């Protein structure tokens, strides 16, 4: 596209009242694009004003300096073949300041606005219309791993939407844990009675569905490739294969292996980058490999594994499925005695329901003398599960109490259960035939690779310890995202779920798999930059194989070759730009976001070299939360420090340290990053961006130190979107520190 520029200044919403309009227009012209002004650009007349230039002069690259880019997006969208760049003069400038007391324009405010105009013009000059990345071939087939309720549902629902599915199950038959159920929880109002298992119907429907290929007794050896073209190797369950997913080998470990000092953990395996010519192609993956029953023998006072007839809930279900259960049964929900009222680990709210269900077996099988005792600390029957709890409370022979179970012993052919702190007043010893422990459901992802990826960053999801081993990456807001694009979880790998929840969860996972495939097909990003057509472009001839991009990508999008040159997989990429921020050679760029663009914007900021009152601080602002917070601060008409210049970035992870150097070498006096909270409860939309950026800033601080500059000239602040009223003080504090240090001594050189 040959760019034809037009720049427009909106003087409405108070902009024209506090700024020198002609001065701003001159600044745009000096920067290379002539600028016109209008009293209300977002109105019909204002848009027509711009549209006329589009029609008459073929303007296709439009600079709009006015309100925040977060508003009036539709109003300034002039079609797919045009680019609109916004300069934020309203929220970031006009609404944060005023005229001087004598009615004249405040030169500090004017300089701020002028810099935003220059930066917008520069951005327009450096940006390009993106061309989406299209795969040459794409598979729209979906792989579902795991043939229990979650996997069966995901397969069936994806097929109903018209997609081909392959369902793999390592056991000889489909159905998973539900095959062993005698009854299942109520699924419809009034939620009072147990239902007969529907698992056989679900299996039969899947088997009858022509769009679903079922592979039982089969496992996934490895998944290579990327969304739209995952290359999947299957193998007989339990067998070893040369295509098994290789373990992660760090660069240091590889050195040792090469020197013969360390045994290669992947000996005999195909290299992770080798595509299996016999592999099957898939567009996306649903992981539904479920859970395993927890081992509860560690709770010695409860006697599992030592005392006969102390069983887990899973073992009890098996007994109940195969025959009559004993008449007197105690169900123990919490293992902590008097000290701890938590349930067994990995229970969620499922095991309370299981105990209620199994208590029903006791009274059903023993109509005359059945006695089920449910000993709980907190009955966890949320939402509509409460109705089943209620209906069981009304059952003859079912006794429930809050209680601390302190000991289980065998004696006189029965089991004795010591119960304290209960609702009946005194300590009890119950005599029962069997004790059932409410063991939890451990996600298969907690102990094993499970997903078996042939990726540079290794075969498993990362950092699952933050999520108790559940396959999650962003609890609460992005429920389906994992750290591996195109792979969506459901069922027991996500949390201990009831069947109802699992069905919703699996249906949702099927949707995400479909959405990922369609996004790959359109050449656009998935969540959270959904629809973004840009992707990182590598200028390989200058790559030094430093591997930083490969190692830092939060989503494992980059593989590498023997030499360490990155092998990009654009459909794995979430477009955060962490690779761009990592690259010391500055060879990774996006069409509308590049090292040169932001660097040039920084350099377009005018730095007075002889005025100690007019220091300058470049503030790189995460556009997800920190930027909206600055907007909101402006909405509140909070004053903003006029020495700072805000530069929006995709994620702090994308901030390349060369920009900091650009800022400091152009005489600016400090540089600050504003981004999301990091750590165990990170809020970074791209998981690692703000954390990585903080580390880089520490390093650059040290570099500055070696040049004789104070390391504290570079800082990072974590900002929540709701911190808008605190923001001015946070900025002021940083700027005051810089002011105290004095001007950048290299200013003017």
Partner 1 sequence: MSNTAGNGAVLVVGGGISGLTAALEAAEVGNDVFLVEKNAYFGGRVAQLNQYFPKLCPPTCGLEINFKRIKDNRRIRTYTLTTVKSVSGGPGNFEVQLETAPRYINANCTACGDCAQACGEEIADPFNFGMNTTKAVYLPHEMAFPRRYVLAKEACSAASLDAIKAACKYNAVDLDMQPQTFTLKVSSIIWSTGWNPYDPAKITNLNFSSSKAIVTNMMMERLAAANGPTKGKILRPGDGKEPASFAFVQCAGSRDENHLQHCSYICCMATFKQISYIRAQYPDAKIYVFYIDLRTPGKYEHFREKFMADANTTFIKGKVADIVAERDGGVTVTAENAITGAKVHQKVDLCVLATGMEPALGEQGKALNVAMDGNGFVVSDAAKGMLSAGCAKAAVDVYTSGQASTAAALKAIQIGR
Taking contact as CB under 8 A, which single stretch among the options 7-15, 444-452, 556-564, 701-709 is the one that binds partner 1? 7-15
Q: Which of residues 419-448 bind partner 1 (CB under 8 A)?
A: 421-423, 425
Site for partner 1 in 719-738 (CB under 8 A): 720-722, 725
- Check: CB of residue 330 under 8 Å from CB of residue 373: yes
Give yes or no for a contact between 309 and 433, defined as CB atoms under 8 angstroms apart.
yes
Least gap, CB of 601 to partner 1 (angstroms): 22
Site membership for partner 1, residue 385 (CB under 8 A): yes
| Site for partner 1, residues 213 to 252, rule: CB under 8 A | none
Among 74, 81, 137, 706, binds partner 1 (CB under 8 A): 74
Q: Is 496 in the site for partner 1 (CB under 8 A)?
A: yes
The reply to whether 12 sits near partner 1 by the rule CB under 8 A is yes
Tokens of 695: 């580390």
Q: Shortest gap between Cβ of 638 and partner 1 (angstroms)?
A: 12
Count the neighbouring beta carbons within 10 Å of the beta carbon of residue 32.
13
| Angstrom distance (rounded) from CA 307 to CA 410 | 7
Of residues 510, 588, 664, 674, which one binds partner 1 by CB under 8 A? 510
Return the range that interacts with partner 1 (CB under 8 A); candidates 9-17, 121-129, 144-152, 559-567. Answer: 9-17
The angle at the Cα of 220, spanning 214 to 221, to the nearest 5 degrees, equals 145
By rule CB under 8 A, what count of residues binds partner 1?
89
Residue span binding partner 1 (CB under 8 A) among the ranges 50-58, 314-322, 519-527, 583-591:
519-527
User: Could you give the angle at which helices 595-604 and 107-126 cross, rounded to 10 degrees?
Assistant: 150
Q: Residue for token digits 């991009």?
A: 549
For partner 1, which residue of 29, 73, 104, 196 counts as binding (CB under 8 A)? 73
Taking the least distance from each CB to partner 1, the nearer of 528 and 711 is: 528
Please tell me whether residue 190 binds partner 1 under the rule CB under 8 A.
yes
Determine contact, residues 649/623, Cβ cutoff 8 Å: yes
Nearest distance from C-beta of residue 591 to partner 1, angstroms:
16
380 binds partner 1 (CB under 8 A): yes
Q: Applying CB under 8 A, does 160 fall inside the site for partner 1?
A: yes
Q: Closest Cα partner for 514 from 158, 156, 199?
A: 158
Rounded Cα gap, residues 89 and 19, in angstroms: 9
Q: CA-to-CA distance for 589 and 593, rounded, in angstroms? A: 6
Nearer to partner 1, 381 or 450 (CB): 381
| Residue with smaller CB distance to partner 1, 138 or 319 | 138
Near partner 1 by CB under 8 A: residue from 213, 216, 274, 384 = 384
Q: For partner 1, which stretch binds (CB under 8 A), given 194-202, 320-328, 379-387, 564-572?
A: 379-387
Q: Which of 169, 505, 559, 691 binds partner 1 (CB under 8 A)?
A: 505
Q: Figure out which of the listed residues 635, 639, 699, 748 binds partner 1, where binding follows CB under 8 A.
A: 635
Q: What is the C-alpha separation between 144 and 192, in angstroms, rounded?
A: 33
| Neighbouring C-beta atoms of residue 488, cutoff 10 Å | 30
Q: Does 508 bind partner 1 (CB under 8 A)?
A: yes
Cβ proximity to partner 1: between 231 and 683 the closer is 683
> 441-443 and 291-293 as β-strands: parallel, antiparallel, unpaired?
antiparallel
Dump the DSSP string for 544-570.
Answer: ----HHHHH-TT--EEE-TT--EEE-G
Which parts of 541-560 interact with partner 1 (CB under 8 A)?
none
| Pairs from 675-681 (Cβ < 8 Å, separation ≥ 24) | 675/621, 675/622, 675/625, 675/626, 675/651, 675/716, 675/717, 675/718, 675/719, 676/622, 676/624, 676/625, 676/626, 676/652, 676/718, 676/719, 676/720, 677/718, 677/720, 678/718, 680/466
Site for partner 1 in 606-625 (CB under 8 A): 624-625
Kind and range of the H or E element at 87? strand 83-88
Q: Give the x-and-dash track for 308-347 against partner 1 (CB under 8 A).
A: ---------------------------------xxx--xx
């Amino acid at each position: 596209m040959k760019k034809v520029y037009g720049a427009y200044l909106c003087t409405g919403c108070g902009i024209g009242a506090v700024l020198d309009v002609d001065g701003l227009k001159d600044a745009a012209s000096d920067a290379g694009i002539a600028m016109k002004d209008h009293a209300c650009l977002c109105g019909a007349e204002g848009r027509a004003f711009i549209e006329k230039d589009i029609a008459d002069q073929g303007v296709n690259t439009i600079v709009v300096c006015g309100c925040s880019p977060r508003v009036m997006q539709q109003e300034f969208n002039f079609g797919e073949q045009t680019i609109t760049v916004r300069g934020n003069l309203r929220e970031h400038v006009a609404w944060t300041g005023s005229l001087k007391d004598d009615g004249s324009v405040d030169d500090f405010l004017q300089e701020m606005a002028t810099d935003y105009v220059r930066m917008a013009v520069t951005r327009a000059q450096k940006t390009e219309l993106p061309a989406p990345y299209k795969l040459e071939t794409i598979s729209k087939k979906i792989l579902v791993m795991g043939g229990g309720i979650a996997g069966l549902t995901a397969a069936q629902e994806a097929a109903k939407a018209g997609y081909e599915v392959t369902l793999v199950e390592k056991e000889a038959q489909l159905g998973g844990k539900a095959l062993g159920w005698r009854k299942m929880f109520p699924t419809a109002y009034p939620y009072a009675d147990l239902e007969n298992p529907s698992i056989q119907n679900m299996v039969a429907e899947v088997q009858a569905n022509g769009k679903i290929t079922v592979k039982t007794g089969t496992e996934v050896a490895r998944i290579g490739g990327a969304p739209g073209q995952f290359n999947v190797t299957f193998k007989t369950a339990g067998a070893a294969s040369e295509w098994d997913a290789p373990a992660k080998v760090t660069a240091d470990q590889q050195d040792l292996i090469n020197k013969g000092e360390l045994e290669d953990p992947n000996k005999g395996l195909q290299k992770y980058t080798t595509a299996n010519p016999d592999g099957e192609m898939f567009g996306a993956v649903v992981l539904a490999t479920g859970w395993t029953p927890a081992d509860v023998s560690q709770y010695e006072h409860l006697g599992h594994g030592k005392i006969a007839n102390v069983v887990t809930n899973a073992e009890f279900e098996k007994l109940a499925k195969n025959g009559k259960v004993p008449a007197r049964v105690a169900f123990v929900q919490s293992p902590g005695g008097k000290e701890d009222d938590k349930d067994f680990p990995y229970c969620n709210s499922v095991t309370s329901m299981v105990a209620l269900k199994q208590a029903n077996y006791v009274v059903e099988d023993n109509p005359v003398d059945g006695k089920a005792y449910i000993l709980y600390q907190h009955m966890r029957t949320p939402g509509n599960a409460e109705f089943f709890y209620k209906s069981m409370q009304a059952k003859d022979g079912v006794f429930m109490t809050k209680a601390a179970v302190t000991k289980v012993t065998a004696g006189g052919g029965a089991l004795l259960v010591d119960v304290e702190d209960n609702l009946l007043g005194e300590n009890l010893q119950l005599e029962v035939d069997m004790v059932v422990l409410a063991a939890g459901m451990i996600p298969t992802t907690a102990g094993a690779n499970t997903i078996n990826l042939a990726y540079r960053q290794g075969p498993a999801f990362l950092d699952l310890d933050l999520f108790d081993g559940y396959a999650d990456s962003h609890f609460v807001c992005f429920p389906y995202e994992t750290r591996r694009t195109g792979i969506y979880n459901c069922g027991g790998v996500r949390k201990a779920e009831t069947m109802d929840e699992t069905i919703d969860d699996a249906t949702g996972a099927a949707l995400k798999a479909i959405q990922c495939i369609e996004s790959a097909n359109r050449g656009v990003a998935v969540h959270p930059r959904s629809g973004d057509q840009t992707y990182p472009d590598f200028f390989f001839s200058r790559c030094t194989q430093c591997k930083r991009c490969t190692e830092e990508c939060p989503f494992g999008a980059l593989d590498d070759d023997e030499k360490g040159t990155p092998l990009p997989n654009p459909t794995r990429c979430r477009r955060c730009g962490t690779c761009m921020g990592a690259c010391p050679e500055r060879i990774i760029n996006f069409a509308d976001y590049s090292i040169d663009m932001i660097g040039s914007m920084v350099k377009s900021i005018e730095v007075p070299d002889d005025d100690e009152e007019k220091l300058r601080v470049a503030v790189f602002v995460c556009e997800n939360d920190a930027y909206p917070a600055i907007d909101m601060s402006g909405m509140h008409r909070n004053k903003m420090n006029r020495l700072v210049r805000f530069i929006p970035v995709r994620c702090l992870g994308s901030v390349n340290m060369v920009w900091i150097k650009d800022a400091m070498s152009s005489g600016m006096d400090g540089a600050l990053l504003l981004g999301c909270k990091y750590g165990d409860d990170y809020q970074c939309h791209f998981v690692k961006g703000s954390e990585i950026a903080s580390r880089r800033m520490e390093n650059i601080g040290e570099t500055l130190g070696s040049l004789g500059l104070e390391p504290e000239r570079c800082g990072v602040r974590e900002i929540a979107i709701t911190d808008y009223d605190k923001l001015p003080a946070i900025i002021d504090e940083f700027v005051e520190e810089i002011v105290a240090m004095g001007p950048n001594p290299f200013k003017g050189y």
